[in-house]
Amino acid sequence: MKIGLFFEDLGSADEAVRVAVAAEHDGFDAVWIAQIFRIDALTGIALAGKETARIELATGVVPVYPRHPHALAQQAATVQSACGGRFVLGLGVSHELVVEGIWGLSYDKPARYMREYLSVVRPLLTEGNVAFSGEVFRVSAGLQIDNVPPTPIVIAALAPAMLRIAGEFADGTVTWMTGVKTIETHVAPRIRAAAKAAGRPEPRICVGLPIAVTDDAPGARARAAQLFQVYGLLPNYRRMLDREGAEGPADVAIVGNERDVEQRLRALAAAGATDFAARIFPGDDKDSLPRTRELLKGLVGKL
């Protein structure tokens, strides 16, 4: 299982470059940057790509609704050019609260929307052109960007319909606030079956979770409950927490001492995760942050 670092709160492009350079220096496999309401993740990754040489750089994830798929493909191919083939495009449908309540767009049939979106984006990023006519999109266009390798795509897939789409059209899924049991019994079998039925390669299963190495696990869980409270209120994540039997995000956070956390990570790999996107958060003890980073550094290439 690859180990990367996940950032949801970067406030500047310079910060995106700094965290990527530091993660590469520490030997991590990847950096994942969220697209929420702070920096534009694609721009930050393009800049980081020019300052790094080895590390994989991924969006976790870019919402599809505000961007036409041709425009998004054009931007993604440009980012891939800057990254020299190390960029992974993570896409998601976001949430009804955001799409309708904030952007004023329709959230009708998000699975259909994602299927058609991928039907446009994927050919553009793999072949350089597309001719697609669907219910939402009708696109006949190409891209002319020199010497860009194909861009892998993972989508935020949690529900059965979206996992089927991920297996058929994408290179994998990236999850958030989804526990080990749910990965093993729901996510992994569904996406693998869909990929196999479509004659596609084994999919990536990239799992993002909060993590803290600490001797005060109850205190860390209390901190996680505060920091990540909003995710327990969003229906897409709430369904995964309910499936896990978790009261809230604190119950799926990976916390404990070095031995306990390593065991949890090995269980995650055994459940089917191919990638771990670590959202390091501070436990109640002052050395939690460096302890967590050091443990993760030491586990790269060993899970």
Whether pLDDT at 283 is above 90: no
Whether pLDDT at 239 is above 90: yes
pLDDT tens-digit series, residues 69-122:
999 999 999 999 999 999 999 999 999 999 999 999 999 999 999 999 999 999
pLDDT tens-digit series, residues 135-193:
999 999 999 999 999 999 999 999 999 999 999 999 999 999 999 999 999 999 999 99
Output the pLDDT for position 284.
Answer: 75
Phi-psi region of 29 (alpha: psi -120 to 50; beta: other; left: phi over 0): alpha
**All residues at 6 or more sequence positions from 218 whose CB lies less than 8 Å from its CB, including other chains:** none
**Which residue blocks in 127-249 are alpha helix, DSSP H?**
160-169, 180-182, 188-197, 217-227, 235-244
Q: Is residue 116 within 8 Å of 131, Cβ to Cβ?
A: no
Residue among 171, 136, 177 at smallest CA distance from 154: 171
Quote the CA–CA distance of 77 and 141 in Å, as a whole number: 14
Output the pLDDT for position 285.
Answer: 79
Q: What is the mean pLDDT of residues 255-270?
A: 98
Q: Give this prediction's pTM.
A: 0.97
Whether pLDDT at 257 is above 80: yes
Q: Is residue 91 within 8 Å of 156, Cβ to Cβ?
A: yes
Domains of the chain: 157-287 (3.20.20.30)
pLDDT tens-digit series, residues 31-80:
999 999 999 999 999 999 999 999 999 999 999 999 999 999 999 999 99
